[in-house]
Structure 1
Amino acid sequence: MTTVADAVGWDGALDALAERIAPRFCRPEARRRAGQYLAGLLAPVERKNGWQLAEVAGDANPDGVQDFLARMRWDAEAVRDDLRGYVVEHLGDSQAVLVLDETGFVKKGTRSVGVQRQYSGTAGRIENCQIGVFLGYAGRLGHALIDRALYLPQAWAGDEERRRAAWVPEAVAFATKPKLGLAMLERALDAGVPCAWVAADSVYGADSVLRQALVRRRIGYVLAVTSGQRLFPGTVSDWVEDVPADGWHRLSAGDGSKGPRLYDWAHLPFRGAPEEWGKGLLIRRRLADGDLTFYFNFAPAGTALKELVRVAGTRWTIESGFELAKGEVGLDQYEVRSWTGWHRHITLAMLALAFLTVVRTAAIGGKGPGRLGRRTSALDRAGDPSPAPPAARPSDPKTRHRYCLVALAKTSPAAGAALSLETPHPNR
């Protein structure tokens, strides 16, 4: 049961979070606005647009909010780093999963940066929208969004006039979604984010450069691929016939709204991975209709099937994160058109979502508001000097081999015991 003391503690924790990021803002007015913006995103108002955020801040109009997002000098990338540190401090887990995915932001017109008619998984169809690629962090204590990148389509990347109008930095060039995702993964790993796995859908799983980068770093992955993904001598769907009769195991991929999400799973390991690691094909079969989903995986030798299934099931956490972020902290309710404004709003909305997750974790775990007390800022911890102010609005207009099949040890379909992925198939 939440007490008055809890509420007071959480309010103080929000002040501490605003204090944590304060060194990223060069002037007192920007620091004040940042705290107000966070409070507004967490406030119980119907929409987190400029007018309602201004109302929460006590302003007569949204000019101050718009100025904060578009013209005040502050570094959204540094705040992103503080967000990542905050999540690690409160939710850090050595067995956590980094999850890549994208979400769409439906928009009208053609002036919002990166907007065009393109497929949006959020809408389930082609829409006039922006696409953001996100990196989620999912551990035992909770999950949050820790990085973001706006996808800039080729039509935008090559249009100097539109780039200049939307303040797209000169250094930003066209990059595929997997390339954006890999850059975020590398930022997290270079920063020492504790994790053991990466999960993603087939947009990212099909990218060999991304997979190879994770292999070099010895980071495990469970990455979805389409049924047509090439795997010598055919496609992954051709490999289903190699699953022995006793090779399917009924396991839960985590709890859903209606209880455990049960599927039948099979694993076909490959040879040819680095020493002490293994690669393989994980196959999920839906109970209702037999529909199949395929995953490439890379894991330490001896990893149990149950663990691969857990990682595959963790991918839903980022979808849940999008839903919460859009429903509770206004991730998609911004009224900005520029590159700068998009990244600033999205970063602060992700920070607000992380705060909610930490508060809920503390409440459910009975750890109380003390766990949310003041933490030193990123600059205090690192001993860094004050950040240099970001550049003002740009004025320059240029701005194989067949792998050996290995069978799994037989187990009861409902059993949750660990399953070895090491036993050689007697016929191979």
Structure 2
Amino acid sequence: MDADWQADLELWLDPFLKGLGNKTRRRMCPAYIAGLIGPGDRKSIQPMAARASEISYDRLHHFIGAGVWDSAPLETALWEQADALVGGEKAWLIIDDTSMPKKGTSSVGVAPQYASTLGKQANCQTMVSVTLASGEVPVMLSLRLFLPDSWTQDDSRMAKAGVPAEFREPKSKPSIAIDEIDRIVAAGVRFGCVLADAGYGLSAPFRQALSARGLRWAVGIPKHQKVYPADVKLVFPVAGRGRPRLRHVPDIKSVAAHTMLENAKWRQVSWRRGTKGRLVARFAAMRVRIADGAPQRIGAAGAQHMPGEEVWLVGEHRSNGERKYYLSNLPGDTSVKEVAGAIKARWICEQAHQQLKEELGLDHFEGRSWTGLHRHALMTMMAYAFLQYRRLAQAGRKKKSLRTAPSTQSASSPASHP
């Protein structure tokens, strides 16, 4: 990074600093973010303070852990900057979670749970993430801690970690994600489609909440998710004896997603160019109705969920033999290539998680409180947004210089891509 980045950071942070009010806090915020961006392998408060001789450890620690300031104005400024960078109808809003392995039991939210980073159970903290992305440029908007049952069932433990009263009720990750989406939508952030993996897509309330808000979505599902053919009909069953039936029932049983696609037409689809050429897999797609309506007993078939929304059911056969399944409420006239492109756009949030940890120290925070963890996470997201801003600005300058270069320059000179 060039030597001017700190001057650029001060200018870029101006809308954020206005929300902090106090002069000391307006000094601490740029210092903390500069510490995250600057050199050094460890991005916890003590080593950052040691590298910045003009800012003491005590002041940085107080700013993040105990200072009396509201993060909402900074979040609003972050979302405005993110929307200006990558927002729009072609942007994706990607829901995921990221885990941070942690020793001990005192840090807020830490517990033995599935760690997505490690792919197994581990003692860790898990944060639900919301990323706004356009093409290959992600900007993280939100990181909200998930509290396992071992925490929500222990009021004294939550009080000791400073968990605010409004966050002490048990909430699933999909429910946390919907809360964050509501805040982001209310702030006017623009995007065209919500993406999520099967950890969220298997939740009928999550999918239904997105549709109820008029949002487009494409989500992973387990292969055993039940669906109906799109032309399923609701009929009155004939009662062999007793009173006539009062409710309609489907005229066909629901089946698992992988069964529905067994006889579908599969075709090779390329959705994006990667570093080693076009990315290709085999896809099949058909219109179905999700079996996620109210449960109802249907004769010998037992309890069945009634047909819900009509959507795309998509299957993917990868070159390594792996098979994945998805649902999307994109319009019925959307091409298979477009549906596949939406499904596969989710990968970019994993890159953002990795960069937030490896380059900006998201998982280096050593405090134990709810407030401290979320403020540290907010600072890392602001630092990441600033780096994306500089990346796009530099790419724009390079493209402009290529366009205005003398005609003697080789036409094959490579352009820079953001």
- TM-score of the pair, normalised by structure 2: 0.81
Matches within 5 A, 1:46-85: 46-58=41-53, 62-85=57-80
* Structure number with larger C-alpha Rg: 2
Paired residue for 2:324?
A: 293
Alpha-carbon distance between aligned partners in 2 of 1:205 and 1:367, rounded to the nearest angstrom: 40
Q: Could you tell me how far 1:278 is from its partner in structure 2? A: 5.6
Q: Which amino acid aligns with 2:288?
A: F
Paired residue for 2:300?
A: none
Q: Say which of 299, 312, 324 aligns to 1:280.
A: 312
Paired residue for 2:371?
A: 340
Moved over 4 A (4+): none
Q: Could you tell me how far 1:103 is from its partner in structure 2? A: 0.7
Paired residue for 1:409?
A: none
3-state SS in 1 of match to 2:389: helix
Alpha-carbon distance between aligned partners in 2 of 1:178 and 1:318, rounded to the nearest angstrom: 17
3-state SS in 2 of match to 1:74: coil
Paired residue for 1:42?
A: 37
Paired residue for 1:240?
A: 261
3-state SS in 2 of match to 1:311: helix
Matches within 5 A, 1:8-407: 8=4, 10-58=5-53, 62-140=57-135, 142-172=137-167, 173-232=169-228, 233-243=254-264, 247-270=265-288, 279-289=311-321, 291-366=322-397
CA contact (8 A) 1:223 1:295 kept: yes
Structure 1, gaps ≥5 residues long: 370-428
Q: Deviations over 1:311-356 (max 9, x none)?
A: 1111101000001111111111111110000100001101101111
Alpha-carbon distance between aligned partners in 2 of 1:262 and 1:366, rounded to the nearest angstrom: 32
Alpha-carbon distance between aligned partners in 2 of 1:161 and 1:352, rounded to the nearest angstrom: 34
Point out the more displaced range, 170-179 or 55-64: 55-64
Q: Which amino acid aligns with 1:270?
A: V
Alpha-carbon distance between aligned partners in 1 of 2:119 and 2:57, rounded to the nearest angstrom: 33
Q: Which amino acid aligns with 2:138?
A: H
Alpha-carbon distance between aligned partners in 1 of 2:185 and 2:285, rounded to the nearest angstrom: 28
Alpha-carbon distance between aligned partners in 1 of 2:325 and 2:136, rounded to the nearest angstrom: 28
Paired residue for 1:424?
A: none
Q: Could you tell me how far 1:113 is from its partner in structure 2? A: 0.3
Alpha-carbon distance between aligned partners in 1 of 2:22 and 2:398, rounded to the nearest angstrom: 35
Q: Could you tell me how far 1:61 is from its partner in structure 2? A: 5.5
Paired residue for 1:425?
A: none
3-state SS in 2 of match to 1:93: coil
Q: Deviations over 1:44-65 (max 9, x none)?
A: 2111111221023315852222
Q: Which amino acid aligns with 2:202?
A: A
CA contact (8 A) 2:287 2:332 kept: no
**C-alpha spacing 1:368/1:45, structure 2 compared with 1 (3 Å):** farther
3-state SS in 1 of match to 2:363: coil
**C-alpha spacing 1:11/1:168, structure 2 compared with 1 (3 Å):** same
Alpha-carbon distance between aligned partners in 2 of 1:260 and 1:368, rounded to the nearest angstrom: 23
Alpha-carbon distance between aligned partners in 2 of 1:59 and 1:128, rounded to the nearest angstrom: 36
Alpha-carbon distance between aligned partners in 2 of 1:19 and 1:133, rounded to the nearest angstrom: 28
3-state SS in 1 of match to 2:166: coil
Alpha-carbon distance between aligned partners in 1 of 2:164 and 2:18, rounded to the nearest angstrom: 23
Point out the more displaced range, 326-335 or 61-70: 61-70
Q: Could you tell me how far 1:252 is from its partner in structure 2? A: 2.5
Q: Could you tell me how far 1:222 is from its partner in structure 2? A: 1.0
CA contact (8 A) 2:227 2:288 kept: no
**C-alpha spacing 1:255/1:324, structure 2 compared with 1 (3 Å):** farther
CA contact (8 A) 2:312 2:332 kept: no
Q: Deviations over 1:223-262 (max 9, x none)?
A: 000112222412111112230xxx2221224344433321
CA RMSD of aligned residues (A): 2.2
- TM-score of the pair, normalised by structure 1: 0.79
Q: Kindly, what percent of the aligned residue pairs are identical? A: 30
Alpha-carbon distance between aligned partners in 2 of 1:226 and 1:94, rounded to the nearest angstrom: 28
CA contact (8 A) 1:115 1:129 kept: yes
CA contact (8 A) 1:270 1:278 kept: yes
Alpha-carbon distance between aligned partners in 2 of 1:21 and 1:368, rounded to the nearest angstrom: 29
Q: Could you tell me how far 1:147 is from its partner in structure 2? A: 1.0
Paired residue for 2:243?
A: none
3-state SS in 2 of match to 1:90: helix
Q: Could you tell me how far 1:93 is from its partner in structure 2? A: 2.5
Q: Which amino acid aligns with 1:325?
A: L
Q: Could you tell me how far 1:26 is from its partner in structure 2? A: 3.5
Alpha-carbon distance between aligned partners in 2 of 1:218 and 1:37, rounded to the nearest angstrom: 39
* Relative contact order, higher structure (CA 8 A, sep 6+): 1
Alpha-carbon distance between aligned partners in 2 of 1:78 and 1:157, rounded to the nearest angstrom: 28
Paired residue for 1:418?
A: none
**C-alpha spacing 1:230/1:248, structure 2 compared with 1 (3 Å):** same
